[in-house]
Amino acid sequence: MIENHLARLRFRHRIDADEETAIRGMMGERRRIAAGTTLVRAGEPLTRSTMLLSGLLCRYRDLRGGERQISELQVPGDFADLHSYTLKRLDHGILALTACEIVEVPHERLRAVVRAFPRLADIYWFSTNLDAAIHREWMVSLGRRKAAARVAALFCELQVRLAIVGLADDTGYALWLSQYDLAECMGLTSVHINRTLRELREAGLVTFRDRRVQIHDLQGLRRVAEFDPAYLYLGQQPL
């Protein structure tokens, strides 16, 4: 049920058999969620965190005029709101961008696990710090990168994150998002996104069509994005 999550953890940390048993034991209700469902609303009290098993979730904020900014995408194996364990409410919402399968982890079970296994507390603390690093990289994109570099950076990031859980390789991956969804990630209009995707395609770098990112030149795409995967802290991390 949670193999993608365990693969994500093991990519960076050693997880022994007792720790794996504890992680499996803290899982609660498993649910299927329709695309467009809001799982968490900003400000509501929270007593559980949500792990994504399949599909795509996002963190987002809506403005009064109806504009939406997506601030991070969650891929299978991610906790969507692990930070709610300490915050108990969020300043943003969690939305299902596609049909998803999730499992809920009650905070009381998470508390028992991290008290019994202090190294897992460090590992999950690392996970929230990794989320913060991804947010900072998105802030650089939104603040300073031109449109083509923004889109290229997102495609490069997702290629790495999905490859960790076996859902991507150097040639591409499935991405069940619309151009409108991409626009809300990039802080651009859907017209600008369409023009930018055409620019990247005509440069021979990447094609986004039929819900798939087809990468023609990964190194070239990374050069356009100035993509350095160091912020994703790849490989085994000492704790």
Question: For 108-133, how does the pLDDT look when each residue is reduced to its tens digit (9 = 90+)?
Answer: 999 999 999 999 999 999 999 999 99
Q: What is the largest CA-CA distance in the chain?
A: 55
CA-nearest of 105, 103, 107, 106 to 33 is 103
Strands (E), 63-209: 68-74, 93-96, 100-106, 172-174, 206-209
pLDDT in tens, 150-170: 999 999 999 999 999 999 999
Tokens representing 177? 């998002």
Q: Which residues have C-beta within 8 Å of that of residue 224, sequence separation ≥ 6?
A: 148, 149, 152, 200, 203, 205
Quote the CA–CA distance of 156 and 225 in Å, as a whole number. Answer: 8
233 phi-psi bin (left φ>0, alpha ψ -120 to 50, beta other): left
pLDDT in tens, 52-75: 999 999 999 999 998 999 999 999
pTM of the model: 0.96
127 phi-psi bin (left φ>0, alpha ψ -120 to 50, beta other): alpha
Quote the CA–CA distance of 86 and 46 in Å, as a whole number. Answer: 10
Quote the CA–CA distance of 114 and 119 in Å, as a whole number. Answer: 8
- What dotted CATH number matches 144-232? 1.10.10.10
What's residue 1's pLDDT?
74
Cβ atoms of 96 and 34 within 8 Å: the answer is yes
- In three-state secondary structure terms, 211 is coil
Percent over 90 (pLDDT), the chain:
96
What's residue 239's pLDDT?
76
Tokens representing 165? 């859980």
Q: Which residues have C-beta within 8 Å of that of residue 32, sequence separation ≥ 6?
A: 99, 100, 101
Tokens representing 229? 């995967």
98, pLDDT greater than 90: yes
List the chain domain ranges.
3-137, 144-232
- What dotted CATH number matches 3-137? 2.60.120.10
Mean pLDDT across 62-89: 95
| Distinct helix (H) and strand (E) counts, the chain | 9, 10
What's residue 91's pLDDT?
96
Q: How confident is the model at residue 237 (pLDDT cuts 50, 70, 90)?
A: confident
Helix (H) or strand (E) holding 32: strand 30-33
226 phi-psi bin (left φ>0, alpha ψ -120 to 50, beta other): left
Averaged pLDDT of the chain: 96
Phi and psi angles of residue 14, each rounded to the nearest 5 degrees, phi first: -80, 130
What's residue 167's pLDDT?
97
